[in-house]
Structure 1
């Protein structure tokens, strides 16, 4: 045979062999990929946890999920693959051919050639039972296992998409992401609800590790104000801490905050525009990217809440002044547990009534009394009812979702306010920000868990965070 023909033949055989070997190696797929038809007609491998097992004389049906989506993938096999360890909750690795399904509830199924139990699970001891929809307060007792439930796995996928949408909104609108510190020496809110940090084994009991008292942060706002002196738009998204001895459905000792600061603005409307746009964009993204997960909540956990969410997205957010809000509350026929008068702090019952009064749509309350807000809020210089340019966003079912203000950039007024509350020495660095290139600016913070409560209708904030921390509870 001619040398060229031999080389051509060898090349053809080599390529055919290589192609055959590649085809025989199963492709690893997520369940979500398999359900979308990726790898159809090919040898594939999936890994996940068993949702159900149904055995017949000749066939075995196993539903498997890996957390990538709500719907499980049906695996069809012969009864030869029946294994006593193949039970609800067990971890498996399965290889087979992905084929079209004749069943109307699924478009594809995996015809398994091999089912390997990676980790067994005794369903009698497992706290969650097959085909049983457990209540949120029940699964809350098992923080180390509740991600195995459909409800909580859906919550975590929604939470992930919502976080991505928040970052995406700020990125697209020219904000710079700042990693503000978790350990700080200041109390931004001024409420004194701080967790103080100390070494577990101090070398010298008379010395502070940082030379000054240090705390877990209650807000990244003051650090964002530092950065707003160099960048016109900044934001942060991270954990914050409050030492509130509360068992309420609205408070946690550790939660996540989305905070933003905008330079070169004298208008509270500039802040409310960002708050409203971020809320809308994030919610629309979640509804679009997590339809099955959101439907699970709106159908089975909080029936009918989808209508409330869609109404919020369609409505223009309402704006009232604090004084107008007080008048609305005073004219109400409802009896409040906390008395209403000008100068009182709005309580949750007041906030929820205001939302209801405004047609169950989000409401911005602006221009709060001077004494109700921290030292950094900008003085409106209005007399006799002295107010500051502060704003809270109230939403249905939750009450306060966002809080913010224009910041006092006038050095003389800020210095006088710090002297008034006895903090001039503590915040001398903050006064420096007003001495060197200060500009009018403002910002706000949004509680991320409260946002999730709002769009899902979940009543207890402990059910929208992976590992809730609150008074007398720090499991794991």
Structure 2
């Protein structure tokens, strides 16, 4: 009996010690929060830990003030600490870990502040050599020189959060509207644009000089369209969103060698309006999402980089997009008082200067241009055989500040016309598989592609496409 009582007493004592230990750790171990979570105030009064980079240091007699940001929000978290916690390594740009109590702030600029009990410098920063200076607003062209560091700036961190939200919104739109997401290949044997601006793939150490790695010439993709067309024979709505490549020797503000494309294909349609509706809806859905979810980040651009551009974006969303034919566009250009560098005769390619004028003519609103000359479009564009002028069922979406944002067409589903077109351009052997798509259960279909970086240029008003992509690739430049 004595043994049993002793055993019970020992067991109770151990349980109490375990319980006290757990209570001790639950009380003393701070919650790890992101800066955005801390700023929300949901953990007010709690012991928390945040990690991030110092955006400012202000040492006063009574207090040490830090602004710490981890990239989760535009706003930094203010840290209030005793001067005893100051450290010579605690400089602008240094990485820190801070523990303390989250309290309500007395200042209107921030809802909460962290009263620090412990500050640990994880990574020091030589602020003398650091290219970005405290309280200095650097322009986009300057920070572009430092692709490995520009994510530390307010402007570029805001851009990356906007880019992330826009990506989520695009996927959300297609999912909500019944599209199947397809991972189209980056390596391909097809040139769907037919322009020849391709990066060819070759092993760095080929086994044989006479043998291709894939047994056929292979390239980085210029578009996922043809692969989407393959699968639109099984699924009525498909899309892809990924990197595409063009070997253009261009230093322009609108072109990159590597960029991202949103591409969609819709089966069972003979109407160009079905395509323009999806283009317009994607633009509206994504823009409204970004303006709602990234308001502060967007304001960084609309207030400091492109003042007043918010009004232009909201104006684009108020009305339905304009629609004109290519022939109407040529007439508008020829009636204008403006002198153009490139010709404006019927049958010419619309250049950037033409596109921007047409947008201006339509009140700085997005405009669809339809029914282009047939010879200007690739082999897969549907022939408008019933039109007085030989045109294709093709469409481009032109937007303010950019020009062409989207390009698409109905696809030629009539086997005899497609075969004749391929023979005309000398591609009947290369695309024999494409003819098979028309032989086995073909349906009328169409699709389009939208340049993601150009979309960001449009809604943010940024002037250079190199400033809306994390690591720009263009001729004579491949940093990192």
Q: Distance in 2 between matches of 1:65 and 1:98?
A: 15
Q: Distance in 2 between matches of 1:395 and 1:457?
A: 11
User: What's the RMSD between the two structures over aligned residues?
Assistant: 1.6
Aligned to 2:89: 85
Aligned to 2:346: 342
Aligned to 1:329: 333
Aligned to 1:309: 313
Query: Following TM superposition, by how much is the alpha carbon of 1:9 offset from its aligned partner in structure 2, in angstroms?
Result: 9.2
Query: Following TM superposition, by how much is the alpha carbon of 1:11 offset from its aligned partner in structure 2, in angstroms?
Result: 6.3
Out of 64, 82, 85, the residue aligned to residue 60 of structure 1 is 64
The aligned runs of 1:105-120 (5 Å cut-off) are 105-120=109-124
TM-score of the two chains, using structure 2 as the length reference: 0.97
Q: Distance in 1 between matches of 2:298 and 2:148?
A: 23
Q: Per-residue displacement from partner, 1:383-404 (whole Å, max 9, x unpaired)?
A: 5510000000000000000000
SS of structure 2 residue aligned to 1:238 = strand
Aligned to 2:419: 415
Q: Distance in 2 between matches of 1:85 and 1:173?
A: 53
Aligned to 2:358: 354
Out of 138, 151, 164, the residue aligned to residue 147 of structure 1 is 151
Q: Distance in 2 between matches of 1:449 and 1:281?
A: 17
Query: Following TM superposition, by how much is the alpha carbon of 1:40 offset from its aligned partner in structure 2, in angstroms?
Result: 1.2
The aligned runs of 1:211-290 (5 Å cut-off) are 211-290=215-294
Aligned to 2:437: 433
Aligned to 1:295: 299
Query: Following TM superposition, by how much is the alpha carbon of 1:104 offset from its aligned partner in structure 2, in angstroms?
Result: 1.1
Q: Distance in 2 between matches of 1:27 and 1:108?
A: 16
SS of structure 2 residue aligned to 1:153 = helix
Out of 100, 124, 131, the residue aligned to residue 128 of structure 2 is 124
Q: Distance in 2 between matches of 1:91 and 1:16?
A: 35
For structure 2, the 5+ residue unaligned runs are none
Aligned to 1:97: 101
SS of structure 2 residue aligned to 1:114 = strand
SS of structure 2 residue aligned to 1:300 = helix
Q: Distance in 2 between matches of 1:7 and 1:85?
A: 50
Aligned to 2:47: 43
SS of structure 1 residue aligned to 2:383 = coil
Q: Distance in 1 between matches of 2:474 and 2:13?
A: 72
Aligned to 1:161: 165
Out of 197, 200, 210, the residue aligned to residue 196 of structure 1 is 200
Q: Distance in 2 between matches of 1:183 and 1:475?
A: 22
Q: Distance in 2 between matches of 1:296 and 1:47?
A: 24
Q: Does 1:385 align with 2:392?
A: no
TM-score of the two chains, using structure 1 as the length reference: 0.98
Residues 390, 328 of structure 1: alpha-carbon distance in 2 compared, 3 angstrom cutoff: same
For structure 1, the 5+ residue unaligned runs are none
Query: Following TM superposition, by how much is the alpha carbon of 1:203 offset from its aligned partner in structure 2, in angstroms?
Result: 1.0
